[in-house]
Structure 1
């Protein structure tokens, strides 16, 4: 990379990709965008001066660094592989920074294929949600060679309050799965707690104030309890299906490593029961319905 800011390609203008790409443009990076639904990329381009590519191949051929922030491992594979994919079309010596929450084993496989084509790879999944993306206060956990992570750090700085090198390629993804395992189990326990409070005649909406600063306090607690108490599951800043996807990957990683994940497996089954009721796009706070709304209707 030159002393000038590298030209970035950003693939995936979704809930997270929209504010992240805007922050990178605001930081002064020349930016090329691609999204399967072009209108989302066009909206960012209209406000930032970024250019919108017609294809993944076109984007990859024009930038120094490709940043991906897509829905899941399967979409990531599709973007990277094949004659029209990133790996086949990126400039030799270029870099890939993947912000997707993806499977660690697949990440290592794709990174090896990228290396064979002269491309570096840093897996850099994020935590902090849409609010963190908008504020530039995400926690980013990175896997890759130290030199590659250091180079990625200079690019990712406008997005994060904390960037941690966790180890070789795949280590960032494992760390994110650990994060999501804890979030999912916490969400399930919070739903039980709110249900217990309500069934005992306690106003659950007062719980965040009552428990603030104690051992039970946490960011998920402060976010989820009001939504559960109000049964407010619309316009979520994160989706049940996304959390379930990550917890399923965490349990799969546990299976590979012979590391037991019984709490994560239970949380996944509880979330899957809501998914079966068509609530995949709802806030994970919908788990309260397992204990209160559904029980009251039965």
Structure 2
């Protein structure tokens, strides 16, 4: 049994904490809004959570919230002890992750950026994919807890590499989602049967994003899988990572999600981008 702290209990953090506890680990949580997981003990702050933990997972929303829980007077670094393994599983900017990794190194603390993919269902079922940056020789204590929350651990290089890959991945997924919705709109304008078109697109080109896009277009998910606001944030971080490069697709997709946020859809599922203009005719059912 490992003592684990989870700081941040959004969609991903709640699933991770619940699965860690279900696997027999000693889990303490902290969230800005208390009571998200009343069945688990809650620390008074991030520092207290870190002080009693062998492994700390931070799963906050963005750079600002991450910086606060790490560097605040009651932050993780204020409580972390020598030997504690520190993990950021949030999707953050490259600049902030680089700074955070350097601050941990200055204190001799083991740090990994380990953003996740797999969505709400992956978090709920313990089938996330961990996208890792850091020392490839991971401490045994960390490898002992990862099976409780993930089905795959993919290492991309030194600290910061996991974040870089996650931003690339999210940019591609957002482009795919937006393009799927545009294809459905084209099919509607052409007078095609949208049930037939949707099923065919899920089959070819297929893939998990096509399946998700089709399902979400038919029935907007509740609860959401991933918000338009989070997508816009991740795309903006991706653009900053690649500033100055000619990226017309990324720029177009970022503009689309930024528009969704500006029009008040930040808290809706990111599939809302496919319904911003002229939604397709009613679709009877999502079928693969």
| Shared fold (TM-score, shorter chain, > 0.5) | yes
Which residue is equivalent to 1:274? 260
CA apart distance, 1:20: 1.1
Q: Does 1:247 align with 2:235?
A: yes
Number of aligned residues: 280
> Structure 1 stretches (4+) deviating beyond 6 angstroms?
none
CA apart distance, 1:116: 1.6
For residues 228 and 213 of structure 1, the distance between their equivalents in structure 2, rounded to whole angstroms, comes to: 16
* Structure 1 segments unaligned to the other structure (5+ residues): none
**Residues 181-192 of structure 1 correspond to what in structure 2 (within 5 A)?**
181-192=171-182
Which 10-residue stretch deviates more, 164-173 or 93-102?
93-102
**Residues 52-201 of structure 1 correspond to what in structure 2 (within 5 A)?**
52-148=42-138, 151-201=141-191
* Residues 203-256 of structure 1 deviation map (CA, whole Å, 9 limit, x = unaligned): 323334223442x212111111232245x365322111111111111111001x
For residues 131 and 289 of structure 1, the distance between their equivalents in structure 2, rounded to whole angstroms, comes to: 23
CA apart distance, 1:149: 6.5
Aligned with residue 27 of structure 1, among 16, 19, 23: 23
- TM-score, normalised by the number of residues in structure 2: 0.91
Which 10-residue stretch deviates more, 241-250 or 130-139?
130-139
RMSD between aligned residues: 1.8
Q: Does 1:222 align with 2:211?
A: yes
Which residue is equivalent to 1:40? 36
* Residues 242-287 of structure 1 deviation map (CA, whole Å, 9 limit, x = unaligned): 11111111111001xx543221111010111111111111112211
SS in 1 for 2:211: helix
For residues 254 and 114 of structure 1, the distance between their equivalents in structure 2, rounded to whole angstroms, comes to: 25
- TM-score, normalised by the number of residues in structure 1: 0.88
Which residue is equivalent to 2:274? 288
* Residues 29-57 of structure 1 deviation map (CA, whole Å, 9 limit, x = unaligned): 11111111111132xxx2xxx32111112
For residues 106 and 83 of structure 2, the distance between their equivalents in structure 1, rounded to whole angstroms, comes to: 11
Between the two structures, name the one with larger relative contact order (CA 8 Å, sep ≥ 6).
2
Q: 1:108 to 1:150 in 2, by over 3 A?
A: farther
Which residue is equivalent to 1:238? 226
Which residue is equivalent to 2:285? none
* Residues 35-88 of structure 1 deviation map (CA, whole Å, 9 limit, x = unaligned): 11111132xxx2xxx321111121121111111111111111111113321112
* Structure 2 segments unaligned to the other structure (5+ residues): 281-288
* Residues 11-32 of structure 1 deviation map (CA, whole Å, 9 limit, x = unaligned): 1111111111110011111111
Higher percent of residues as helix: 1
